[in-house]
Amino acid sequence: MKLAVVGATGLVGREILKVLDEHKIYPDPFIPVASSKSAGLPLLFNHHRYFIHTHEQAIEAKPDVAIFSAGAAASREWAPRYAAAGITVIDNSSAWRMDPEIPLIVPEINASILTKHHKIIANPNCSTIQLVLALAPLHAKYHIKRIVASTYQSVTGTGAKAVRQLENERNGIKGEMAYPYPIDLNLFPHGGDFLENGYTSEEMKLVRETQKILNDYSIRITATIVRVPVLGGHSEAVNLEFEHDFEIGEVVQLLANTPGIVILDDVKNNIYPMPINAAGKDEVFVGRIRRDESQPNSLNLFIVADNLRKGAATNAVQIAEYLESENLSGVDISQQYR
């Protein structure tokens, strides 16, 4: 695979390189891309030294696939240019997720909708990916009517600046603030920007992206995002109301048989998902599986994943692997991007 990684020096970009290495994917050529001020600087990958490319140089190199992790503004500007050159873009930002013409992909759920004409592919929000991976088999079996989700999100979801804020606070150092409040020994119900409806942009991403991936806009969803002083891993307390009743044993079996999910659900021995379980891993961990006794046909779950792995880097790499295996990349330039 001829691969470019755009934003290769950022938090997610570095994680993408780690995932590629662990999956033993060594692109030829490999084209790291970053901002113009980083152009020409060295980057080590697979025991080789590469040099940072500009966008223009990367497009001229004609990779099959470009994984973007450089933010929505860069993606809106550059993804169509890559696509116009016949390069398939897998974008980690929010720029294209809700575009009706752009597929929003979690490979285990809906990769089959991809064709060689899709030259921009959106990677969902990190909290959405782990949620829908657990929900998809349950929705297919019991049909979800309503979702209530509360997420407890790591500072890595905000970026390197937030990580530095937490580390500075833990070390008693005054520094630049990524958040309006201290995060160490604290948490706050604020992720993204507040909207006119009182929800945040992160909360509404969870709502809209879940409906799009599951291809069911009848599902009613409400979410609360909480930022917590954790360095890696998002956790979600999720309540589901189904159209059809279920047996707990069958639910556990469905989830256990879903690729990418690991069940941690032995409360007698204090076994349940935690961010520490998920750190550095590609799987989504599910536990605290129990019936909601307050209303019919309802279930509670606790879902945890490493937001930089399955929530971003791993999902993007898995999309690239699928494109390669199905021979869907690097062919048939779509006229819509010209």
CATH of the domain at 45: 3.40.50.720
Q: Omega of the bond prior to 29 within 30 degrees of 0, cis? A: yes
Written as one letter, the residue type at 206 is L
Position 330 pLDDT exceeds 90: no
Crossing angle (nearest 10°) for helices 201-214 and 126-142 = 40
Instruction: Tell me which residue of 310, 311, 304, 266 sits closest to 286, measured CA to CA.
Output: 304
pTM for this structure? 0.95
DSSP string for 271-333: B---HHHHTT--SEEEEEEEE-TTSTTEEEEEEEE-TTIIIIIHHHHHHHHHHHHTT-SS---
Catalytic-role residue among 126, 139, 143, 190: 126
**Is residue 234 flagged as an active site residue?**
yes
145 shares a domain with 227: yes
Cα(202)–Cα(285) distance, integer angstroms: 21
CATH number of the domain to which 160 belongs: 3.30.360.10
131 shares a domain with 120: no
- In sequence order, what are the residues at sequence separation of 6 or more whose Cβ sits closer than 8 angstroms to the Cβ of residue 144? 135, 138, 214, 216, 219, 240, 241, 242, 243
168 shares a domain with 302: yes
50 shares a domain with 134: no
31 shares a domain with 146: no
Over range 65-90, report the average pLDDT.
97
Over range 246-255, report the average pLDDT.
98
Judge contact between 192 and 201, C-beta under 8 A.
yes
Cα(50)–Cα(53) distance, integer angstroms: 9
Mean residue pLDDT across the chain:
96
68 shares a domain with 119: yes
Judge contact between 205 and 126, C-beta under 8 A.
no
Q: pLDDT, tens digit, for every residue of 137-191? A: 999 999 999 999 999 999 999 999 999 999 999 999 999 999 999 999 999 999 9
101 shares a domain with 137: no
Domain limits at 169? 127-307
206 shares a domain with 320: no
CA atoms within 13 A on the CB side of 41: 10
97 shares a domain with 141: no
pLDDT in the model for residue 147: 98
163 shares a domain with 41: no
167 shares a domain with 192: yes
**What percentage of the chain reaches a pLDDT higher than 90?**
96
Residue 329: band (very low, low, confident or very high) from pLDDT cuts 50, 70, 90: confident
- In sequence order, what are the residues at sequence separation of 6 or more whose Cβ sits closer than 8 angstroms to the Cβ of residue 209? 97, 98, 104, 124, 125, 128, 132
What token pair was written down for 25? 């994917």
Q: How many domains does the chain have?
A: 2
Judge contact between 272 and 191, C-beta under 8 A.
no
142 shares a domain with 180: yes
Separation in Å, CA 210 to CA 124, 222, 282, 317: 9, 11, 20, 20
Element (H or E) spanning 204, and its range? helix 201-214
3-class DSSP assignment, residue 122: strand
